Structure 1
Amino acid sequence: MEQEKEKREESEQEKWVYDGSVDSKGRVPLRASTGVWIASLFVLTIEFSERVSYFGIAANLISYLTKVMNEDLKTAAKNVNCWAGTTTLMPLIGGFLADAYIGRFPMVLFSSLVYLMGLSLLTMSQYIPSLKPCNTKTCSQPRKLHQVVFFLALYCISLGTGGHKPCLESFGADQFDEEHAKERKKKMSFFNWWNFALCIALLLGATVIVYVQDVVSWGAASLILTILMALCIIAFYVGKSFYRYRRPEGNTLKPILQVLIAAIRKRKLSCPSNPALLYEVPMSDKSQGRLLCNTSQLRFLDKAAIIEDIHVGQKDNPWRLATVTRVEETKLILNIIPIWLTSLTTGICVAQGSTLFVKQAAAMNLKLSNSFTIPAASISSAAAIGTLISVPIYDKIIVPNMRRITGNERGISILRRISIGLAFSVVVMIVAALVEAKRLRMHEQEILRAGETDQKTMSVFWLIPQYLILGFGDSFSLVGLQEYFYDQVPDSMRSLGMALYLSVIGVGSFLSSFLITIVDHVTEKNGKSWIGKDINSSRLDRFYWMLADVGGFLQYFIILVRFSFIIF
């Protein structure tokens, strides 16, 4: 009888998904007809269109600002970094609202429509006569109205990304049940193949879309992106019956604050040696979520779960008593702070790929033949190629072999994967500095030989190594960060976890802009700014060496900080 009962329970567990999610009608999801890769394909479709749009704009934006809007290199780089930073920080707001109040699916749908509005404005700024930069193909000063509408369109896209990006990736990962062995392994591969799809999008955005922008017009490229986004929004909505949904759980930051205050209130108490004496509410329903076990890190917070006999009704006061699960969720959030800080070097490195690296390319020989010239921004597709090469190798070769060696289900730990990616970011800046120093020497030799000339002798393919290494690093650092920030936050904060990952890139962009301002201010006092009005009068090689030094120092410093968290 007992064996038959166990078999029925296993069969029930296999048939239904008890991870706190629901289907489109609010019921416990049926495993066979919801979630996993079928649902993820619909999610990947709309993410693919959004990334093609973003990379198509971001890769060539600095060229548009310098060539059409006639901004100097320093101003254009800061404007690109400001937009990229805003775009990747807005998800902090969107992710919080989705987790707490709105839900991930409604937030994705709403923000996609906002994104579509931004693309539509971008298209109109190129086709409506009164909104065009000017009436001729070239103009010394674009219309103010065009500048207003153009930047309004860009920041509408930022606003749309704020709800789209963090919710969509966490929504895709929600389609896999962590408590189910087969689905858990598929979920580990999900983040690898998610980034593989993003790199295909980057490749198309940085080649096809950029080529249309340079050869046909920005208007034609914007129209293509608008139509693609509209079609993918429809496809995403059509797949709603296949999805597994998670209900919003209210303000997800409030419980963390309650734990901190409860621990401070009981700071004079001693933690019991037996964790079983700490307060926990037993699970009453399989669909309510997961309980977390007590850990030895940040023991001070355990005091929030100590039961005090002298206070009547304290169990009804979450500001005085927290469960072990709430305490452990708070520990998870605090433990990611050092990792977030460490990863800012990656964000700074990524920021160079869409700004100064592109201007490097523009100052080099872009000709493949007498009749065909590569758009400067298209060279960034080499980063996508690097990731496209490394992700399958990592997922299909490295992970299976490392599983056998280490016994770790992931092959190597997430933190080790991130550390490898951070090391790549330092190598990228070193290679970029060496290539730029060589380019400047060749430019000076050309001036000595033929005087002032527009001839560019150094091939743009010299930039491929630094972009490839950037792509290799992204397959370790960015993919690892995505998995880490999804896995190491409470279930109710998964969208906010993805937003924290994106904020690494956003803050990195702002830090890059800040460093450009500081470096320009300091070095121009010596008569030659490292980042001048144009790239040939600048010394970007020295700027890259500085970033490599800062990146290496910051990594060692934050590692020490993380160890202090563990000891404490």
Structure 2
Amino acid sequence: MTKTNDKMQANVDVEADMDDSRIPTGIDIPLLNSFAGDSIDYKGRQALRSNSGSWRSAVFIIGVEVAERFAYYGISSNLITYLTGPLGQSTATAAENVNVWTGTASLLPLVGGFVADGLLGRYRTIIIASLLYILALGMLALTTLVPSGAESFVVVTSSPPHLQVIIFFISLYLVAFAQGCHKPCVLAFGADQFDASDAHECRAKSSFFNWWYFGMCAGPAVGIFVISYIQDNLSWGLGFGIPCIVMGLALIIFLLGTMQYRFQKKTEGKSAFVRIGRVFVEAARNWRTTRPMASLEDQACETITHQGSQQFTFLNKALLSLDESNETGTICSIDEVEEAKAVLRLIPIWASLLAYSTVLSQTSTLFTKQGATLDRSIGPTFEIPAATLQSFIGLSIMILIPIYDTILVPVSRSVTNKPFGITMLQRIGTGLFISIALMVISALIESKRLKTAKEYGLQDDPETMIPMKIWWLLPQYLLAGAADVFTVVGMQEFFYDQVPRELRSIGVALYLSVSGVGNFMSSFLISIVEKITRRDGEESWISDNLNKGHIDYFYYLLAGISSVAFVMYVYAAKSYVYNRGRAISM
């Protein structure tokens, strides 16, 4: 009898949540239960669970992300080699340029998220961004080639013309802009394929974030190895051209799934941007008011207790209408204020994650330059590119994600009695702790490399290979992958889940912007360290001649900064109030 009552109540709840304008008169309750929440299909009809969304459409979107990450990392992983090689830049300048570009690429998703959530929608934004991506990659490939028919795939090895350098960087930043519009929309659109009101699909969505990141790493793992080898041994033009072709295929794959996708229905009335902005504006206008709010708070007592409104109480003043121009005496609703608080609660978490991104930015810059000084030979003739070891980050993630999803989650679930094992914030914190260990181990390995160089008298000979195998660097790449499994996947789910439904592209962009700001911080930190440590003609810690520098000291510095940031994160996470029932249950 209890089960029957529960089922009847569930049916009533579903019926109440549906948009009556979309439901034909006389439709029965079982059919209502087959609807996928408030999602619609490509024709604007109410989406059905039986023929849309879930894994049947998510696999298309994951496939698109594999291709896009292949293309992006095919460009970025070996970019420092192109800058220090054909473009003739110094190591420090090239590292700063790579960090600035990577940081810009990671901040631009904020623009892409705004365009998608406020203007075009995620589906249209993905298509336009893909076309722009293909154009930018094509331009980038052409700038590396000698413009003559017979030598169309000959790499420009002499000092490049000024115009060619300008066009190269324009193309490079166009790539950054295109991926900035593409990446947040694809992840948010993929998660939209799962109905959070259905228990089975809700669990599937949590797994989706794991397998999404698996795909994100599968693409780079192949792209870094294959493309960096082509760039180093065959042609930079071909190495930049193949990603262009792959992005074209990605767009085709995405369009093939159109009829199975679920689309979020547009919310009538004011946009979330307007609602949230209005709360902050009205709270600022009412900053000095002393008008009592007791009556309003009494009316909202249950809402306030449930949603954790004791935080950021200064926003409660947005509830007041000073001129009492409306009947209730309020200017913003309680839901609108809570919506603004939900966004504001993300800021301390976001800020405490910046050091993590600063640490991980070294994997594509200083780690690569370290590897270039070591013995990279396999057998008598084959030599792997230094950038190839970056593929082990993806390989580590690809091994650990299935273990996490199929073993660690069930085990932790049995210990914590929570349906998803550990909370999103606990998962992120675990990765932050691993990143501190990563920097300490990287510093110890770099000390070993410097000691070997000194033993063989190679301190003044940076061009000679140090008799130390590149595989010494493998632990730091594997630890970087392990940290990502916990922190990055946790950030993806956290920032998607904890923002208002209409702003989920922006939520994903917030997670991506952590990497962007972190890369800018890394570039700034490298610049400061180089100026401070280059005194009286001495070599700086980050010298063009790594054998006379002290990158190990720089890594220890990052470990210290990360430790401070970890303490800040733990404090912010302990005081964080989840704004959804599902997150609380985790």
How high is the TM-score relative to the length of structure 2?
0.88
Relative distance call for 1:309 and 1:222 in structure 2 (3 A) is closer
1:197-346 alignment to 2 at 5 Å? 197-247=215-265, 251-264=271-284, 265=286, 268-272=290-294, 277-278=299-300, 294-298=307-311, 300-301=313-314, 303-304=316-317, 306=319, 311-313=324-326, 321-346=331-356
Contact kept, 8 Å, 1:103 with 1:247, in 2: the verdict is: no
2:179 to 143, 161, 168: 161
Q: 1:175 and 1:451 mapped to 2: Cα distance? A: 56
Residues 219-228 or 198-207, more deviating: 219-228
Is 1:513 the counterpart of 2:532? The answer is no
Q: 2:407 and 2:466 mapped to 1: Cα distance? A: 42
The residue type paired with residue 178 of structure 2 is G
1:465 to 475, 481, 486: 475
Relative distance call for 1:452 and 1:482 in structure 2 (3 A) is closer
Encode CA deviations 1:209-234: one digit per residue, 9 max, x unaligned.
11121122122222221111112212
Contact kept, 8 Å, 2:462 with 2:545, in 1: the verdict is: no
SS at match of 1:53: helix
* Alpha-carbon RMSD: 3.0
SS at match of 1:454: coil
Contact kept, 8 Å, 2:74 with 2:240, in 1: the verdict is: no
- Corresponding position of 2:498: 488
Consecutive unaligned residues of structure 1, counting only runs of 5 or more, are 282-290
2:35 to 16, 40, 43: 16
Is 1:404 the counterpart of 2:426? The answer is no
The residue type paired with residue 45 of structure 1 is G
The residue type paired with residue 541 of structure 1 is D
Contact kept, 8 Å, 2:368 with 2:387, in 1: the verdict is: yes
Q: CA deviation at 1:170?
A: 0.3
Contact kept, 8 Å, 2:453 with 2:459, in 1: the verdict is: no
Q: 1:430 and 1:133 mapped to 2: Cα distance? A: 48
Q: 2:135 and 2:480 mapped to 1: Cα distance? A: 32
Q: CA deviation at 1:492?
A: 0.8
How high is the TM-score relative to the length of structure 1?
0.90
Q: 1:539 and 1:304 mapped to 2: Cα distance? A: 53
Q: CA deviation at 1:535?
A: 2.0
Is 1:364 the counterpart of 2:382? The answer is no
Relative distance call for 1:261 and 1:279 in structure 2 (3 A) is farther
Q: 1:453 and 1:18 mapped to 2: Cα distance? A: 62
Q: 2:50 and 2:305 mapped to 1: Cα distance? A: 28
Is 1:40 the counterpart of 2:58? The answer is yes
- Corresponding position of 2:395: 385
Is 1:477 the counterpart of 2:492? The answer is no
Q: CA deviation at 1:69?
A: 1.1
Q: CA deviation at 1:73?
A: 0.4
2:547 to 515, 536, 541: 536
Q: 1:486 and 1:273 mapped to 2: Cα distance? A: 34
Relative distance call for 1:363 and 1:160 in structure 2 (3 A) is same
- Corresponding position of 1:285: none
Residues 534-543 or 123-132, more deviating: 123-132
Encode CA deviations 1:97-129: one digit per residue, 9 max, x unaligned.
110111000001101111111111122123451
The residue type paired with residue 290 of structure 2 is K
Q: 1:292 and 1:245 mapped to 2: Cα distance? A: 33
2:561 to 525, 545, 550: 550
Q: CA deviation at 1:270?
A: 4.8
Q: CA deviation at 1:533?
A: 2.2
Residues 522-531 or 349-358, more deviating: 522-531
Contact kept, 8 Å, 1:346 with 1:508, in 2: the verdict is: yes
Q: 2:295 and 2:454 mapped to 1: Cα distance? A: 71
Contact kept, 8 Å, 2:491 with 2:511, in 1: the verdict is: yes
The residue type paired with residue 533 of structure 1 is D
Contact kept, 8 Å, 1:69 with 1:141, in 2: the verdict is: yes
Residues 178-187 or 424-433, more deviating: 424-433
Contact kept, 8 Å, 2:145 with 2:153, in 1: the verdict is: no
Residues 229-238 or 500-509, more deviating: 229-238
Encode CA deviations 1:248-279: one digit per residue, 9 max, x unaligned.
55653322222223344275345549967139
Between the two proteins, the alignment pairs up a number of residues equal to 552
Relative distance call for 1:131 and 1:429 in structure 2 (3 A) is farther
Relative distance call for 1:314 and 1:58 in structure 2 (3 A) is farther
- Corresponding position of 1:287: none
SS at match of 1:489: coil
Contact kept, 8 Å, 1:426 with 1:548, in 2: the verdict is: yes
Residues 257-266 or 212-221, more deviating: 257-266
2:405 to 378, 395, 398: 395
SS at match of 2:37: coil
Relative distance call for 1:139 and 1:483 in structure 2 (3 A) is same
Contact kept, 8 Å, 1:366 with 1:376, in 2: the verdict is: yes
Relative distance call for 1:310 and 1:451 in structure 2 (3 A) is closer
Q: CA deviation at 1:559?
A: 3.9
Residues 80-89 or 132-141, more deviating: 132-141
Q: 1:342 and 1:127 mapped to 2: Cα distance? A: 43
Q: Percent identity?
A: 38
Is 1:196 the counterpart of 2:214? The answer is yes
Relative distance call for 1:143 and 1:486 in structure 2 (3 A) is same
Q: CA deviation at 1:140?
A: 4.9
Residues 358-367 or 205-214, more deviating: 205-214
Q: 1:144 and 1:309 mapped to 2: Cα distance? A: 61
Q: CA deviation at 1:180?
A: 0.5
Q: CA deviation at 1:133?
A: 12
Contact kept, 8 Å, 1:332 with 1:489, in 2: the verdict is: yes
Relative distance call for 1:128 and 1:247 in structure 2 (3 A) is farther
Q: 1:401 and 1:366 mapped to 2: Cα distance? A: 40
SS at match of 1:29: strand
Is 1:416 the counterpart of 2:426? The answer is yes
Q: 1:488 and 1:243 mapped to 2: Cα distance? A: 23
Q: 1:504 and 1:451 mapped to 2: Cα distance? A: 38
